[in-house]
């Protein structure tokens, strides 16, 4: 063992504070992506004094590993000054941040090797646990704080670039969706004179979905897509060239693919009903529903149609919400004139090409971030 490797337990303590004063604080949970997220738990009638209080730069984790595939649910609380978490989570903090930086420790927790270690060390019969003593016994290289700051800065530069690209992707998708709404919801698509259709006297007719432009039809998503579950119950991440899509987006890389240029709908869990567009060749796990467009000319119109629908309202289940593809098929949509769909797709080609470029950059930066995390084991003082 290198001399700068130390047990994490030398630097951390449990946090025991409860919400005894019943403060009205944000209730948060932890995601498998190692982030704090707003809690969706129903707390009506719940004794909130038993909930744990967590502060900025503290950590929390779930000791249960048997339900999480290959990841330990653990995260650094950094976006709020104070919040509440369920008793199911174990909060802890670094005792001296002048010796170990919270961001540096979170980098160690973000490594796939740490997740594999946690799964290997987990034990139990009905459910497997990576308990507090196991966590404290985990060895970590602890270089000089200045070196830690340097490593964190390098890592954050990459992570921030990914975040910036994701913001740009969001803006471009919002632009495409605004055009979709104007044309296919407000019916203000350009008429033969280039003027907004409905507000310039465009003929409307009654349908089972209400008043629609003449020549349009009422249909459902089965007119646009064939849906299929992804494959495998776990994340097959082996850092391969093809991005892996789960319920909430990219969760790794695999050396095989099972789809190309198609939307993915979250099948179960916290991202159930969420829609992302997977660019290029990719692999979809069982946590995602693959959306294969029937007519290639409907590629972008179909995706925008999916985004325009509140698919989360079609989910079932309480403790573990899910959505099945037979439920999605029946979601009603309008089928416009085919020439208008082609015009919409042509207008959106450049937008989605730019989105694809930004997503490819994100994949590259994600690879770089993985390299930085891997390098932690070689850090010297």
Q: Domain tally for the chain?
A: 2
Considering the domain architecture, whether residues 193 and 130 belong to the same structural domain is answered as no
- The pair phi, psi for residue 369, each rounded to 5°, is -65, -35
- How far is 350 from 340, CA to CA, in rounded Å? 17
Cα–Cα nearest to 105, from 156, 97, 113: 97
Q: Say yes or no: 80 and 192 in one domain.
A: no
pLDDT given at position 381:
65
Same domain, 62 and 201: no
Same domain, 331 and 187: yes
**Is 379 part of a structural domain of the chain?**
no
From 121, 139, 157, the end of a domain falls on: 139
The answer to whether position 192 is within a domain reads yes
Say yes or no: 126 and 180 in one domain.
no
Do 293 and 188 have their domain in common?
A: yes
- Helix/strand/coil percentages in the chain, nearest 5: 35, 25, 35
The two three-digit tokens of residue 271, written as one number: 């991202």
**Residues in contact with 107: Cβ distance below 8 Å, sequence separation at least 6, in sequence order:** 151, 152, 155, 372, 373, 376
Residue 212 lies in a domain: yes
Per-residue confidence (pLDDT) for residue 221, from 0 to 100 = 94
> pLDDT truncated to tens, each residue of the chain (381 aa)?
467 899 999 999 999 899 888 888 999 999 888 999 988 777 787 888 989 999 999 999 999 887 666 789 999 999 999 999 998 899 999 999 999 999 999 999 999 899 999 999 998 877 889 999 999 999 999 999 999 999 999 999 999 999 999 999 999 999 999 999 999 999 999 999 999 999 999 999 999 999 999 999 999 999 999 999 999 877 888 878 888 988 778 888 899 999 999 999 988 877 888 999 998 899 999 889 999 999 988 889 999 999 999 888 877 766 677 888 788 898 999 999 999 999 999 989 889 899 989 988 988 898 899 899 988 988 776
Residues 173 and 77 in one domain: no
Looking at the structure, tell me whether residues 321 and 213 fall in a common domain.
yes
Which CATH number goes with the domain that contains 13?
Answer: 3.90.220.20
In whole angstroms, give the CA distance from residue 369 to residue 267: 28
Measured CA distances, 101 to 57, 96, 157, 270 (Å): 9, 8, 17, 30
- Boundary residue ending a domain (98, 117, 139): 139
Range of the domain at 82: 5-139
pLDDT value for 269:
76
Q: Are residues 220 and 342 in the same domain?
A: yes
Residues 102 and 218 in one domain: no
């Amino acid at each position: 063992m290198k001399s700068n490797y130390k047990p994490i337990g030398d630097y951390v303590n449990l946090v025991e504070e409860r919400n005894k004063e019943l403060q009205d604080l944000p209730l948060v949970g932890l995601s498998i992506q190692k982030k704090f997220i707003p809690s969706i738990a129903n707390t009506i009638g719940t004794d909130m004094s038993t909930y744990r209080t967590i502060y900025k730069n503290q950590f929390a984790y779930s000791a249960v590993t048997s339900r999480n595939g290959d990841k330990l649910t653990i995260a650094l609380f950094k976006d709020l000054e104070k919040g509440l978490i369920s008793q199911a989570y174990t909060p802890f903090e670094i005792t001296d941040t002048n010796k170990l930086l919270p961001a540096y420790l979170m980098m160690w927790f973000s490594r796939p090797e740490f997740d594999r270690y946690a799964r290997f060390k987990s034990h139990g019969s009905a459910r497997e646990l990576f308990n507090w003593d196991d966590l404290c016994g985990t060895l970590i290289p602890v270089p000089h704080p200045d070196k830690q700051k340097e490593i964190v800065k390098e890592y954050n530069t990459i992570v921030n670039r990914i975040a910036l690209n994701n913001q740009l992707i969001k803006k471009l998708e919002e632009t495409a969706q605004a055009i979709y709404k104007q044309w296919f919801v407000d019916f203000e698509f350009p008429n033969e004179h280039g003027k907004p259709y409905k507000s310039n006297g465009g003929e409307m007719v009654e349908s089972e979905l209400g008043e629609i432009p003449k020549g349009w039809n009422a249909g459902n998503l089965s007119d646009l897509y064939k849906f299929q579950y992804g494959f495998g119950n776990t994340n097959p991440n082996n850092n391969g060239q093809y991005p892996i899509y789960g319920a909430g987006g990219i969760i790794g890389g695999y050396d095989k693919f099972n789809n190309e240029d198609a939307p993915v709908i979250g099948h179960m869990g916290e991202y159930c009903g969420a829609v992302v567009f997977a660019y290029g060749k990719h692999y979809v796990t069982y946590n995602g529903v693959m959306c294969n467009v029937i007519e290639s000319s409907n590629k972008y119109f179909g995706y925008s149609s999916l985004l325009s629908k509140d698919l989360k309202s079609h989910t079932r289940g309480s403790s573990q919400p899910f959505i099945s593809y037979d439920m999605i098929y029946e979601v009603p949509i309008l089928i416009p004139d085919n020439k208008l769909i082609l015009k919409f797709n042509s207008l959106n080609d450049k937008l989605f090409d730019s989105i694809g470029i930004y997503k490819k950059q994100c994949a590259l930066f994600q690879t770089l971030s993985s390299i930085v995390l891997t390098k932690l084991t070689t850090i010297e003082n």
